[in-house]
Structure 1
């Protein structure tokens, strides 16, 4: 029995399954709509799309390294019951391997096929939310870290030297990222709209403070700018106080290390994945 594109669309609307899955089901059912719907239900594909708007607040972050290649992925699901399941963990590991093999960032069709299979089993909305591939250049040091709860992961690549001291610092920076979860790497990345909004908030707070009334405008302006600068220092990785030496910033620590190893060092790649953010 032949079927049309309208039949595929109708089956999708009645089941919530994907267009391609509906087409395959109709082919298998020789165009019989009722039989096709039964096939989709048996495979667990019916209503899969209807589950796609459910929140995916749980999941896992996986980082893998093979020589000069690094992959880090975030695979999401709905519940911690599933995220802690060994099968889901194996799929997250496989997702990182797929990214490594593909040699490029972003979710692929192979990722989708992998996720769709386990989503049917657990009947939860799941996805490879993000995937990054990094190729470490020559004369560079790199490190990866995934927190024990699998909800935070980081990658740091430092160009200029591959000495042991630089490798150790890259590892410390990964731990720093996981501990302080900065929103940006550098101040230049912070949207001006965010800065303007925070400036307005600080200005309103100062205006409501009686102690500010008698201060000259130039002093108020200086205090306001100081508050903005302090905030940026707190949310930007290179300007944060270094986790293992809070007397200096991360950037300053990098400069000190550059002198120690006799090479100009720079952050080539800084990646932080926080589950759901």
Structure 2
């Protein structure tokens, strides 16, 4: 039977596949839309299998906050061209929104979600079929706090989410902190959160540097501790100099708005080389 343009257009709208792929699938199935959809999906699975050993280093990173929950999703692909494609960005956004609605705790929970009755994994395979590129969920981060906010840097390659301890936090204040986390890539919220092995390594580096500078052995611990304090000011979000007003750190900036306000959590995801 002859395939009509209306049928091709309908299948294309349902799958996002190319015109010729839709025409061929409908021709093969004698106009059966559901069977044609399955053919296109299998094509996506075949492409996915072929591209399995390829590197997906590009992608789209989006973040959003909803009440006391915020999340970041990074959907990865092979090229920047596909990463900027509206269909790819929309898929990333749909996965993020589903994760927010479900308050998904981790990557496995996101992969188990369904969007309009279709599993997330199948939606990614469908997108692979459209583009011919390897795709995968690269990162997923989430936080729960009395107040949450999100920041997505222009270009969709970098995003942060921040949780604060007071539910009535001013939006701009929270947004400033999220932008700070994006710009300055902190390692932890406070010095108490810096992993012990990192602290030990920094102390040893500081001691060795002091030795090379000819400092006396009995002074090394004191010198190393002083340099560790400087390290904390560089990598701890609350101690970092505020990029908008370097004379004060982030904790001081927060306290200037509310003496009880502080950051309780943050996450940062980037696909950029740093």
Whether these two folds match at TM > 0.5 is yes
| Aligned partner of 1:208 among 205, 212, 226 | 212
> Is the Cα–Cα contact under 8 Å of residues 41 and 129 in structure 2 kept in the other structure?
no
Alignment partners' CA distance in 1, 2:83 and 2:198 = 33
Normalising by the residue count of structure 2, what TM-score does the alignment of the two structures yield? 0.71
Aligned residue for 1:162, secondary structure, equals coil
- Aligned partner of 1:193 in structure 2 is 197
Q: 1:272 to 1:149 in 2, by over 3 A?
A: same
Aligned residue for 1:46, secondary structure, equals helix
Alignment partner of 1:273 is 2:257? no
Alignment partners' CA distance in 2, 1:246 and 1:220 = 30
- Aligned partner of 1:255 in structure 2 is 255
**How many residue pairs are counted as aligned between the two chains?**
226
Compare 249-258 and 90-99 and name the one that shifted more.
Answer: 249-258
1:104-131 deviation digits (Å, cap 9, x = unpaired) = 2333233222212112322322222233
- Aligned partner of 1:156 in structure 2 is 162
Aligned residue for 1:225, secondary structure, equals helix
> Is the Cα–Cα contact under 8 Å of residues 60 and 75 in structure 1 kept in the other structure?
yes
Alignment partners' CA distance in 1, 2:188 and 2:51 = 33
Compare 86-95 and 56-65 and name the one that shifted more.
Answer: 56-65
Q: 1:81 to 1:269 in 2, by over 3 A?
A: same
Alignment partner of 1:126 is 2:135? yes
Superposed displacement of residue 65, structure 1? 4.2
Alignment partners' CA distance in 2, 1:245 and 1:73 = 30
Q: Which runs of 5+ in 1 are unaligned?
A: 1-38
Alignment partners' CA distance in 2, 1:268 and 1:92 = 27
Alignment partners' CA distance in 1, 2:195 and 2:162 = 23
> Is the Cα–Cα contact under 8 Å of residues 104 and 132 in structure 1 kept in the other structure?
no
Matches within 5 A, 1:172-191: 172-191=176-195
Alignment partners' CA distance in 2, 1:189 and 1:54 = 36
> Is the Cα–Cα contact under 8 Å of residues 59 and 80 in structure 1 kept in the other structure?
yes
Alignment partners' CA distance in 2, 1:133 and 1:218 = 45
Superposed displacement of residue 241, structure 1? 1.1
> Is the Cα–Cα contact under 8 Å of residues 74 and 140 in structure 2 kept in the other structure?
yes
- Aligned partner of 2:111 in structure 1 is 108
Alignment partners' CA distance in 1, 2:166 and 2:127 = 43
Q: 1:190 to 1:52 in 2, by over 3 A?
A: farther
Q: 1:221 to 1:274 in 2, by over 3 A?
A: same
Q: Which runs of 5+ in 2 are unaligned?
A: 1-38, 113-118
Alignment partners' CA distance in 1, 2:192 and 2:76 = 30
CA RMSD after TM alignment: 2.8
Normalising by the residue count of structure 1, what TM-score does the alignment of the two structures yield? 0.70
Alignment partners' CA distance in 1, 2:195 and 2:145 = 28
Superposed displacement of residue 42, structure 1? 6.5
- Aligned partner of 2:97 in structure 1 is 97
- Aligned partner of 2:238 in structure 1 is 238
Superposed displacement of residue 41, structure 1? 11
Alignment partners' CA distance in 1, 2:132 and 2:142 = 29
